[in-house]
Structure 1
């Protein structure tokens, strides 16, 4: 039995997210599994580094699957390129050790939230960045971001419904990188909860607009109550940038 690791790029605009769903085939996982199953003549099930929400993109999503087939990784790549939709690309396919697991072996995930901060939206990036017309104060955003660094209970910053799953996560760093017409917020951590990054991004944007203070954010973090945190930022500005093992 072979264990094959895939590096995948996708535009999530048209899809219901990564995860296979029972009521639709319009997910990234479903599209790739269908193409691989046809090629390998097996029922292929992908395991990803994590789920991305509907509308979220990935530059380097990692997934793996097991197969009995001896078909070369180069053939797998070419087949995926030929039969997958234009907005999903398998960039790399490689044989890895049996013990490799795309989700359990992750040591760090890096996401980028892209903001267009100008009077008018950019026609060519409007689908891939959140347009904020008012000028953002980056120093205020950095001050609030510092509160999230380290290990915290992020219950106030997730839409997770389960009471059994831990809401404690570690954020390694949050960086702010100027772009041509705005700013990219880069998040690095050991993992992120459901909608956590979009809620954190929404909070940082509110801080940049002067609508929420560091003291208020600290109180929200300590309260562990989602209803107190700012609105969730739109999904189309979020990218899974890389996954490290």
Structure 2
């Protein structure tokens, strides 16, 4: 069975407090975009996992796809499978690619072996794999709170907008990003912010990580500025970086060019 785990962008991201367990509580809107990996899982005589595309650090055993399979295998009699992951979504970019791979592994296994697990049950498994993994089970816009794993429906619709996502080839680890900012309570409710016109988001909708990471990585600020200069209605860093996206009400200009080592995805939302 073949599927295509997709990325997400953050519409606003606020770190609200440090938790006793060492994680952070946050508020954000997760919105899916179709920059995708490819994941194929087939029944096999022996367990096998291999990858192609972008190189993924670490051993196969540490990959979230294999961890998702092992997690389900603890509770269900899953036969051996051959999993192949073709990696396209950049890592350390704040796009949630690894989390999507894990969640889609659970989804595929559920269908392939007719486990008949509900979306709620799959989300509970996904929460054990990573903070935002559960989002990709339903894969619909949500307002996320707590660790990024508690969801409410988001009343935001960006259909018709073109999204341009720019990854400048900078890998920012979660530890680096979260260690660089001090949590604070937001002054506005996320639902209220999202109800405002996209045209005013530039003034009211922010990513807390930008203040800390833009001075350290000026390329990120330069990408954001270039997106606005090209006519973006709204531009922001996504997640804890380093990808930056722009939302264009009209078709994004074709002459939007970035240095050769940058990865750029463009698609209609």
Q: TM-score, normalised by structure 1?
A: 0.34
Q: TM-score, normalised by structure 2?
A: 0.32
